[in-house]
Chain A
């Protein structure tokens, strides 16, 4: 087996008795105190996540002439400096190579933030499609910590000053933290008010200790992060998104700009015309049972689809899940049954997000 990559905090997590597991080729903390307690810390206070496994690339060049503008499902050149945008890198068939966020650092410079497991593939695909400019993988030198939760603004301004507190959603600033340049972005993956902090990898441990020195901040692992993102209906690459799934099937057409060119556009237009044969569905279980990845969705006694993500939602007090079914079964209120071995869970199709009480835009 290939050697797992380690973040600057791998030893720190172990010293904190974290349960560690491989994720996307990295040795990552799944939980410290417990997934439910860490989930609560993020919904009610402030939770700190080690997200150093995610990939970061810098592109420098002419965004239009060098071809960057035609690579993604969204326009890069229209992102104002200091703002970021979410969307997709697609293959020719419209399948999702990755979902990512692009940060406009300057007129001629962007940072592309991608998923850990797909980072090497993404880098190769983007480089191959570029006609010029310089693309650099800065993942190894870049640390990333996410501070998320309703109290995260108070914690950030306490340590780093009031300017960060004024950041609106999907805006970022380049500032100095611990004496080094850092990018602080008002984004996240939890449905709560929160920040993603990018800084040199050799400063990550110091920032981790500093933020945890505030008693309102609790460390949280990828287990809580997965639960938090599912409650607000965010898709997870590898579960809910893949090269075999298009943004139309995944219910994410709002992140596709058909007014511009991008790889995969022709395939998406054809699919839009014909209508996708399967679509994402969100459903609630009528009990505390948890649907799980790869469980079968049935309707009227016949197999009807597959669960891609599922969990028990502490905020709703019931099981919740995402999956794919034929479009007629995705109508809100449609009864579905999720099956695995001898267990059958009665479910009902619902709208997203499952949980809408978060502090995201506060």
Chain B
């Protein structure tokens, strides 16, 4: 399974034609206690780096940008009443949505885990 990260601190795991999207552990930590996640509608079409969801914490409200273009196929409904799961497990149980990938070549605009770790050090 391939894992990539965006400069806006989203992650995407690719399995065949399906991408699972979330925010990085680093982003969840920076946001602090997460109190609300606005999930996208299933069936919504998004372009790479466009807003797909939104997240609010005790400190701030932020948009979540889709790391890849595609169509939303499922959402993590657990987050509607338990957004704190993103703090507890941002890169596993705290996933936001899955997307049917429109253009697999777009991964060239993303970073590997090692590249993302380097990127975090540069911030």
Interface residue ranges, A against B (CB under 8 Å) = 31, 34-37, 223, 227, 287-290, 292, 311-312, 340, 343
Contact = CB atoms under 8 A, between A and B. Distances in A.
Interface string B65-94: 000000000000000000110010000000
A36 B36 contact: no
B46 to A, nearest CB: 15
B4 to A, nearest CB: 27
A290 to B, nearest CB: 5
A312 B61 contact: no
B82 to A, nearest CB: 10
A288 B86 CA distance: 15
Given A227-B58, A311-B58, A312-B58, A290 B32 contact: no
Nearest to B29: A34
Nearest to B51: A342
B94 to A, nearest CB: 15
Nearest to A38: B33
Interface of B: 32-33, 35-36, 54, 56, 58-59, 61, 83-84, 87
A289 B58 contact: no
5 contacts: A36-B58, A290-B36, A290-B58, A312-B35, A312-B58
A35 B83 CA distance: 15
Nearest 4 CB-CB pairs, A to B? A312-B35, A288-B36, A36-B33, A35-B58
A340 B84 CA distance: 23
B33 A290 contact: no
A300 B30 CA distance: 37
B36 A289 contact: yes
A273 to B, nearest CB: 42
Contact of A288 (B32, B59, B83, B87): B83
Chain A CB within 10 A, most for which of B36, B54, B83, B84: B36
B121 to A, nearest CB: 19
Contacts of B54: 343
A13 B87 CA distance: 23
B35 A288 contact: yes
A343 B61 contact: yes
A290 B31 CA distance: 14
B26 to A, nearest CB: 15
A37 B58 CA distance: 12
Nearest to B33: A36
**Chain A CB within 10 Å, residue with most, of B54, B58, B84:** B58
Contacts of A31: 32
Contacts of A312: 35-36, 56, 58
B56 A223 contact: no
A223 B84 CA distance: 17
Contacts of A223: 32, 58-59
A36 B58 CA distance: 8
A119 to B, nearest CB: 26
B36 A287 contact: yes
B33 A35 contact: yes
Contacts of B59: 35, 223
Nearest to A226: B58
A277 to B, nearest CB: 31
Given A34-B33, A35-B58, 17 more contacts: A31-B32, A34-B32, A35-B59, A36-B58, A37-B33, A223-B32, A223-B59, A288-B35, A288-B36, A288-B83, A290-B35, A290-B56, A290-B61, A312-B36, A312-B56, A340-B61, A343-B61
A343 B60 CA distance: 13
Contacts of B36: 287-290, 312
Contact of B61 (A35, A36, A287, A292): A292
Nearest to B87: A34
B50 to A, nearest CB: 13
A292 B32 CA distance: 16
Contacts of A289: 36, 56
Nearest to B56: A290
Nearest to B54: A343
Contacts of A227: 58
A287 B33 CA distance: 17
A84 to B, nearest CB: 31
Nearest to B84: A36
A223 B35 CA distance: 14
A311 B57 CA distance: 9
Contacts of B61: 290, 292, 340, 343
A58 B56 CA distance: 43
B84 to A, nearest CB: 8
